[in-house]
Structure formats: structure tokens, C-alpha cells
Amino acid sequence: MHGVGKPPLLRGLVLAGGRSQRMGHDKAAILIDDATLLERTVALLDGWVASVSVSVRSDQANDRLRRQYPLLLDTGAGLGPANGLRAAHLSDPAAAWLVLACDMPGLDRQAISALVAARDPVRAATSWRSPVDGLPEPLCAIWEPATLARLASLVAAAGRPVSPRALLAESDTLLLDAPRPAALLNLNTPAELDRYRKERHGHQPQEKPDDAQAQP
């Protein structure tokens, strides 16, 4: 860290409010090694942040998988992940947030440790550089308060999806080379999930049993 004084408190945010339309079923409930993607992602943040919240749509707030965690509700429909970041900022405007999408099974605690260790709170954000296009990966990044405030203002003014990646790309973001290209792989389709499972160690069950998402 290169800032002067105490850096803003770091909280954790897991984005799990997507509709998983291309996957065809809830990505957060996909099982990898006997744990769902959501459970794995929340566990990655343990010990690195002051608290962990999960961003969800209002219609997801009562499913059994998500309701075991502190939830932040998206307040606008169809606004994408930027709206989850906005909800986090509004819940604690003074905090920085370590943001993770729930669909990156290649992430591990070593990657999170390296991200936290490299954080520079004077910069707009600290992010991994995408091995695909060299741009910031906004959904595995530490967002500082001022940058989140700017994003929140853009979302409120636009009333439509805003690109977190574009905002970090045009900001003073500290970019880190990813420890492994596969660490930032996200799963969007059944074909991508099947390929990931085959490369890992054979086929695994698709989802946690039905009661993981059953309504009370």
C-alpha cells in the first residue's frame, strides 16, 4: 500500500443475482467438489474482509442457498452487475469492496491473498488484468469508495446497464497480471461448465439438490 493514513475498511461482495439465462439453471447452485459456486466464493473471502454480503435480486432473497448469508438486494431490474455494486456502496459508502462474481471456479485463496496484498487504496481500484483482452476484470477486484460513488451516480443517471469494466479501464486502476489465466474463467454456458469439469477431474453433478433453492 502506498496511501497515507488508514485505508478504507474492506468489505466483501459476492454477485449472485444473475438470471443464468445462457446456463439454463442457477449458476450459484452449481456443485464443484461438494460445494456450490456461491458457497465456494463466499468462503474465498473469509479472513480477508470485515464482512461478506451477497448481492441478489428481490425474488431470490428467500431461496435456501442465498438466505444463509447477509443479502444486499438489487433495487433496479435489468441493470446488470453495476447495480449490485451500487447497492453495496449505498449500504456503506465509506467502505472499499472486494467484489467477486460467483461463477469463477478457478479462483483460489492464493489469488485473493495476492489481490489484497497488492491493494493501493489511493488508486481507483485494484484489479486483475484479463488475459483475454488486457482490460480490468471488474468482478474480481477491489473497488475503492470514490470509484464506487462514481459508478453509483452513473447507474442512477443512466437508468440502464453501465459497464463496470469500462469505468475501471478509464480510471486510475492498478492492474495486476493474473496468477493463472484459468483463475478468471467464468462459466456462462453448459458447454463451458462441461469443459471445466472434464479438465478438472471428470463429470460432477450439475446442481445442489432441489431443496437448495426451494422456497420456504
Instruction: Output 154 or 158, whichever has higher pLDDT.
Output: 154
| Residue 12, beta-bridge partner list | 52, 98
The number of angstroms, rounded, from the C-alpha of 130 to the middle of its chain's C-alpha atoms is 15
The identity of residue 7, as a single letter, is P
Q: Are 190 and 23 in contact (CB under 8 A)?
A: yes
Model pLDDT for residues 157-205, shown as the tens digit of each residue: 887 788 999 999 999 999 999 878 778 888 777 788 788 788 776 544 5
The pTM of this model reads: 0.87
Give the pLDDT band of residue 77 (cuts 50, 70, 90).
low
| Residue 176, beta-bridge partner list | 128
Instruction: Output 25 or 15, whichever has higher pLDDT.
Output: 15
Residue 88: per-residue pLDDT: 96
Give the pLDDT band of residue 3 (cuts 50, 70, 90).
very low
Q: State the average pLDDT over residues 24-30.
A: 84
DSSP 154-199: HHHHH-S---HHHHHHTTTEEEEE-SSGGGG----SHHHHHHHHHH
- What is the average pLDDT score of the chain? 87
Residue 208: per-residue pLDDT: 53
Question: Would you say residue 4 has pLDDT above 60?
Answer: no
Model pLDDT for residues 37-71, shown as the tens digit of each residue: 999 999 999 999 999 999 998 888 899 999 999 99
Residue 50: per-residue pLDDT: 98
Lowest mean pLDDT among 69-73, 108-112, 162-166, 204-208: 204-208
Alpha helix stretches (DSSP H) within the chain: 37-45, 81-91, 109-118, 145-158, 164-169, 190-201
CA distances from 97 to 6, 27, 68, 170 (A): 15, 22, 20, 19
Locate 150 and state its grid cell: 462514481
Domains in the chain with CATH codes? 10-212 (3.90.550.10)
Question: Would you say residue 113 has pLDDT above 60?
Answer: yes
Separation between Cα atoms, residue 141 and residue 143, nearest integer Å: 6
HSE toward the beta carbon, residue 47, CA cutoff 13 A: 7
